[in-house]
């Protein structure tokens, strides 16, 4: 992840929790999640290197992880931010690629966080970002073999996001949240559908829990 994107995420989290104090928020949380995001293949093959060899386009999958945070401006209404990315690069028609999702959300918790089990619903907008890399190996008689992974280009897409999960408080403010998300990515032509479902489990902590 590039430095500007890291700075953007850090700034978002700082603003998130800084604004919580100004808004006299009831509570706030921060979490890390692990899971996967999916999208079906286009079913096409691409002559990526112009040598007459056609390579298939993949479906999206693999292990994703990320983090997020939120604060409640009212007992049941809040706002939040989430970042979700594939951990490792994967093959895309002879290149390597890595997808990432960013979104800012409105949050509705119909039950107070004083309960042990608290449903949470999210709706928001953000971006899907796909980076492409070229991996190759070099060998010579002096230094042996080495590999390089060169960044080629990236593709950015506007996305809307819906999410639903259940915060299960295991001790104090510590919670586990199974969550389902659906991303609608505008013009997601690299895959066979604009819809990208995601499944994850988050581990987090709620501040100001009553």
The residues spanned by each domain of the chain are 26-63+82-107+126-207
* CB contact set of 33 (below 8 Å; sequence gap of 6+): 65, 66, 67, 68, 84, 177, 179, 200, 201, 202, 203
What's the pLDDT score for residue 122?
Answer: 97
What is the structure's pLDDT at 135?
Answer: 86
Q: What is the pLDDT of residue 141?
A: 76
**Closest alpha carbon to 99 in 37, 171, 8:** 37
Residue 8 has a pLDDT of 52
Give the predicted TM-score (pTM) of the model: 0.83
**CATH number of the structural domain 26-63+82-107+126-207:** 2.40.160
| 64 close to 35: Cβ distance less than 8 angstroms | yes
Question: pLDDT value at position 9?
Answer: 54
Q: What does the pLDDT read at residue 5?
A: 53
Token pair 């479906």 is at which residue?
A: 59
d(CA 90, CA 80): 29
Give the end-to-end CA distance of the chain in Å, rounded to a whole number.
Answer: 37
Is residue 32 a contact partner of residue 203, using CB atoms and an 8 Å limit? yes
**How far are the Cα atoms of 8, 35, 128, 129 from residue 3, in angstroms, in the given order?**
9, 24, 17, 15
Decide: 179 and 33 in contact? Cβ < 8 Å: yes
What is the mean pLDDT of each successive set of 10 residues along the chain, which is 210 residues long? 50 50 66 97 93 94 96 91 96 95 96 86 97 86 79 96 96 95 97 97 89
Predicted local distance difference test score (pLDDT) of residue 4: 46
């Amino acid at each position: 992840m590039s430095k500007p994107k890291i700075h953007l995420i850090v700034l978002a989290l700082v603003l998130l929790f800084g604004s919580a104090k100004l808004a006299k928020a009831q509570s706030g949380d921060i979490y890390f999640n692990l899971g996967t995001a999916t999208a079906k293949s286009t079913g096409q093959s691409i002559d990526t290197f112009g040598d007459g060899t056609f390579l298939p386009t993949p479906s999206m999958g693999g292990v994703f992880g990320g983090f997020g945070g939120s604060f409640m401006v009212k007992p049941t209404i809040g706002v939040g931010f989430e970042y979700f990315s594939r951990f490792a690069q994967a093959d895309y028609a002879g290149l390597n690629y890595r997808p990432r999702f960013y979104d800012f959300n409105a949050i509705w918790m119909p039950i107070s966080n004083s309960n042990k089990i608290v449903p949470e619903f999210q709706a928001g907008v953000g971006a899907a970002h796909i980076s492409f890399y070229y991996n190759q190996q070099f060998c010579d008689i002096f230094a042996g073999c080495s590999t390089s992974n060169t960044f080629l280009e990236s593709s950015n897409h506007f996305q809307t996001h819906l999410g639903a999960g259940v915060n299960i408080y295991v001790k104090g403010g510590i919670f586990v949240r199974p969550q389902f998300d659906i991303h609608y990515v505008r013009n997601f032509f690299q895959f066979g559908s604009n819809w990208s479902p995601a499944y994850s489990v988050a581990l987090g902590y709620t501040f100001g829990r009553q």
